[in-house]
């Protein structure tokens, strides 16, 4: 199948999808507004170089239309609604699979009447809308996407590559201190400051740990300064952005995963951590609740609550932090998890992702749905052709 892919070439998700579809034998042509000469698939850069990036997408409409005429794709896939999705809809791409990323429906589409109108236009001109969480499906429907065109399934992760090499208990027993991992962007939406403040609380209460913060973003300098002020600099490593192999190594060498996003759909980072057999401590928001039930697959904590985060981490490592001792507290002050429960939570997390969120399974279903869209479009085109009067017949 010939597939036209509109997405940001520099983004790892774009490269992963392009490689996966090519790996299944499809001819994939990538169009991007941002150059990525270093990427495995650098794609073709489209659109004029306007200083304001937002103007580049509608201005690239002619490029997409020309590419469609030359390449004759059987299906078009556009990632992220406000830019490439809108561009594909403007260019009349059909059949069109729109892949939403979360913030495009939950945040961007609600910013103003213009943003809402743009989202409605794009959703109504998409033949299929792929969302990775139930809350996104509801958001898409509220914005006008027909419910029978909404497909809900997590993108998924490489469960085989992420599978832990040693059980959780063995990893924990082999390390002198509990090891905590953060892999989200260092930006306000993800609230890394609350994590660092929670680490400061743990240190004041005598709970030892080693934390790795793998991620970049505008808050990094302030977070490094905060770690120094809280006197936890020796226990917190800012690793910056790491590549895929290095990230997998980090998962294998840590026991607890922390993510405190204030808004999210199905987080790829959370699925990776669960697949790798870590115990998640994550914010109690709807996107996370679709994957983590409190004290089943991990622990849920109120957004922005450093005290609750500190209690939850201490609970997992079995350290009592309450005034009277004991490991109670956690999220909502419920009973402690016990000494063997973290290993059970890690195993339930791993098993659930392996069962419900395999990237290979998602790619196979994407392929099937694209084939169905292409077949339906072909049948419609054939019917239209047959309905035309013969050449020279009276009209």
User: Cα angle at 150 between 14 and 378, to 5 degrees?
Assistant: 80
Specify the pLDDT at position 55.
83
* For residues 29-50, average pLDDT: 93
pLDDT higher than threshold 50 for residue 348: yes
Buried-state track 266-285, b at ≥16 Cβ within 10 A, e below 16: bbbbbbbbbbbbbbbbbbbb
Q: Is the model's pLDDT at 22 over the cut of 70?
A: yes
Domain 159-349 sits in CATH at 3.40.50.2000
Every domain of the chain with CATH number 3.40.50.2000 lies at: 2-153, 159-349
The values of phi and psi at residue 356, to 5°, are -120, -10
**Choice among 60-74, 251-265, 270-284, 333-347 with the minimum mean pLDDT:** 333-347
Average pLDDT, the chain: 91
**If pLDDT is split at 50, 70 and 90, which confidence band does 51 have?**
confident
pLDDT band for position 381 (cuts 50, 70, 90) = low
Q: Identify the pLDDT of residue 155.
A: 96
Which range is least confidently modeled, 148-157, 275-284, 317-326, 375-384? 317-326
Residue 328 has pLDDT above 50, yes or no: no
Q: Give CATH for domain 2-153.
A: 3.40.50.2000
Percent of the chain with pLDDT over 70: 91
How would residue 383 be classed by pLDDT, with cut points 50, 70 and 90?
A: low
| pTM: predicted TM-score of the whole model, two decimal places | 0.86
| Region of residue 138 (phi > 0: left; psi between -120 and 50: alpha; otherwise: beta) | alpha
Split at pLDDT 50, 70, 90, the class of 339 is very low
**pLDDT over 60 (residue 323):** no
Confidence bin at 310 (pLDDT 50/70/90): very high
Tell me which of 41-50, 69-78, 82-91, 213-222 is least confident. 41-50
Residue 331 banded pLDDT, cuts 50, 70, 90: very low
Whether the per-residue pLDDT at 241 is higher than 70: the answer is yes
Please answer whether residues 281 and 207 qualify as being in contact, where contact means their C-beta atoms are separated by less than 8 angstroms.
no
Lowest pLDDT segment from 102-106, 124-128, 358-362? 102-106
pLDDT, position 324:
29
pLDDT of residue 171: 92
Q: Say whether pLDDT at 297 is over 80.
A: yes
Q: Which pLDDT does position 52 carry in this prediction?
A: 76
């Amino acid at each position: 199948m010939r597939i036209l892919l509109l997405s940001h070439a520099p983004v790892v998700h774009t490269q992963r999808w392009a490689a996966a579809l090519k790996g299944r034998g499809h001819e994939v042509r990538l169009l991007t507004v941002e150059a990525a000469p270093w990427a495995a698939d650098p794609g073709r850069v489209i659109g004029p170089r306007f200083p304001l990036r937002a103007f580049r997408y509608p201005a690239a409409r002619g490029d997409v239309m020309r590419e469609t005429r030359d390449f004759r794709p059987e299906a078009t896939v556009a990632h992220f609604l406000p830019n490439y999705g809108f561009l594909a809809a403007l260019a009349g791409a059909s059949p069109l699979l729109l892949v939403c990323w979360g913030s495009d429906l939950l945040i961007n589409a609600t910013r103003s009447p213009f943003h809402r109108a743009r989202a409605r236009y794009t959703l109504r001109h998409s033949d299929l809308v792929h969302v990775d969480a139930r809350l996104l499906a509801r958001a898409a429907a509220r914005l006008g996407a027909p419910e029978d065109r909404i497909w809900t399934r997590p993108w998924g992760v490489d469960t085989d590559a992420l599978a832990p090499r040693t059980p959780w208990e063995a990893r924990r027993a082999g390390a002198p201190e509990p090891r905590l991992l953060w892999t989200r962007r260092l930006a306000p939406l993800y609230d890394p400051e609350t994590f660092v403040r929670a680490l400061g609380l743990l240190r004041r209460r005598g709970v030892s740990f080693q934390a790795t913060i793998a991620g970049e973003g505008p808050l990094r300098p302030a977070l490094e300064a905060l770690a120094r002020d809280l006197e936890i600099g020796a226990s917190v490593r800012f690793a910056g952005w790491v590549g895929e192999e290095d990230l997998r190594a980090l998962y294998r060498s840590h026991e607890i995963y922390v993510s405190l996003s204030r808004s999210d759909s199905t987080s790829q980072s959370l699925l990776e951590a669960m697949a790798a057999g870590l115990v998640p401590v994550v914010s109690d928001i709807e996107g996370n609740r679709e994957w983590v039930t409190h004290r089943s697959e991990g622990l849920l904590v109120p957004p922005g609550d450093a005290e609750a985060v500190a209690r939850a981490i201490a609970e997992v490592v079995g350290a009592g932090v309450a005034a009277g001792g004991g490991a109670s507290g956690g999220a909502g002050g419920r009973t402690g998890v016990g000494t063997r429960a973290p290993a059970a939570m890690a195993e339930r997390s791993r098993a659930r992702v392996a069962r419900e969120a395999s990237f290979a399974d998602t790619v196979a279903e994407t392929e099937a749905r694209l084939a169905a869209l292409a077949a339906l479009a072909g049948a419609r085109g054939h019917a239209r052709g047959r309905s035309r009067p013969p050449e020279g017949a009276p009209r």
